[in-house]
């Protein structure tokens, strides 16, 4: 099983409001289709971030920190609606490219406690894979037993699914060629051993991002490979032609940044 996250920074213009990069979405969908044709046995779960759709609304209502008032609950519903609008564009592009994409709504599947996912329905994702479909998940809102409601990022949804789906790879396709050092060069490999050295180079996010930028993502990815020894993570660019396809075909030598134990 391969998990592929299409970063919000890749498929949207994160500095705008609900600005989708339609050409990128269309091309990446074609690359996924080509990779599947080359390897029909590929069991792929696609996820996508919020970019300029979910994050803008979520920041306005502070949804990640909890949901209590009538206004905040309205915001909760608006965040979800924004994510569904983006999800529709992504799934339509995949279907148009010939990929049997099936959107599965994380907010109908996951429950949280103090911002952490405590349960998620993995069975429908597995059933979709068994049926030869490509399940598509996304960063979404979620009900929370402590703080009412919150935001769950794509990575958090994927991490919650990892126990049952045991992916060999998590591919994160973004707008940068990998994790960059202070000189702007791609760091080929990050492990717990060199994390402290590269930490000063990791920044936040270029646009609005309620779930944290690169620092928090890399940190949680290191925790994930620690918890899932058979998992490797690769951060690649989706802006360059053919990289996503290459990463799906031969993830072990696809360039970018490898995050492993």
Q: Is 58 in the site for ligand IP8 (CB under 6 A)?
A: yes
Which stretch in 112-120, 148-156, 164-172, 225-233 sits in contact with ligand IP8 by CB under 6 A? 148-156
Q: Is 49 in the site for ligand IP8 (CB under 6 A)?
A: yes
> Any idea what DSSP says for residue 125?
H
Q: Are 53 and 208 in contact, with CB atoms under 8 Å apart?
A: no
Q: Site for ligand IP8 (CB under 6 A): how many residues?
A: 15
Residue 95 CB partners (closer than 8 Å, separation 6+):
101
Give the C-alpha separation, 219 to 184, whole Å: 20
Q: Is 154 in the site for ligand IP8 (CB under 6 A)?
A: yes
Q: Are 119 and 107 in contact, with CB atoms under 8 Å apart?
A: no
Q: Is 50 in the site for ligand IP8 (CB under 6 A)?
A: yes
Q: Is 210 in the site for ligand IP8 (CB under 6 A)?
A: yes
Residue 149 CB partners (closer than 8 Å, separation 6+):
63, 66, 67, 72, 73, 76, 141, 142, 143
What residue is closest to ligand IP8 based on CB?
139
Give the C-alpha separation, 97 to 79, whole Å: 27
Q: Is 107 in the site for ligand IP8 (CB under 6 A)?
A: no
Length of the chain: 261
Beta carbon nearer to ligand IP8, 25 or 151: 151
Q: Is 149 in the site for ligand IP8 (CB under 6 A)?
A: no
Q: Is 90 in the site for ligand IP8 (CB under 6 A)?
A: no
Which tokens sit at 54?
């979910």
Query: Which residues contact ligand IP8 (rule: CB under 6 A)?
Result: 8, 49-50, 54-55, 58, 79, 83, 139-140, 151, 153-154, 210-211
């Amino acid at each position: 099983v391969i998990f592929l996250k299409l970063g919000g920074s890749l498929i949207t213009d994160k500095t705008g409001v609900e600005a989708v990069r339609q050409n990128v979405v269309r091309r990446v969908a074609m690359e996924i289709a080509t990779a599947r044709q080359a390897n029909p046995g590929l069991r792929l779960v696609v996820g996508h971030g919020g970019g300029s759709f979910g994050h803008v609304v979520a920041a306005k209502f502070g949804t990640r920190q909890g949901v209590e008032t009538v206004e905040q609950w309205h915001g909760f519903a608006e965040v979800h609606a924004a994510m569904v609008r983006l999800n529709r564009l992504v799934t339509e592009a995949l279907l148009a490219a010939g990929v049997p994409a099936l959107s599965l709504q994380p907010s109908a599947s996951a429950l949280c406690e103090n911002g952490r996912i405590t349960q998620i329905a993995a069975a429908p994702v597995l059933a979709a894979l068994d049926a030869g479909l490509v399940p598509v998940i996304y960063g979404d809102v979620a009900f929370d037993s402590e703080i009412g409601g919150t935001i769950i990022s794509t990575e958090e949804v994927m991490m919650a699914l990892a126990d049952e789906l045991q992916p060999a790879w998590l591919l994160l396709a973004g707008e940068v060629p990998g994790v960059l050092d202070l000189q702007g060069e791609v760091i080929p490999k990050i492990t717990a051993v060199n994390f402290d050295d590269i930490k000063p180079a990791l920044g936040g996010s270029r646009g609005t991002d309620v779930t944290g930028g690169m620092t928090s993502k890399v940190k949680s990815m290191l925790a994930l490979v620690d918890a899932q020894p058979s998992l490797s993570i690769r951060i690649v660019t989706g802006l360059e032609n053919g990289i996503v396809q290459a990463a799906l075909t031969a993830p072990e030598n696809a360039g970018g940044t490898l995050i492993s134990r």
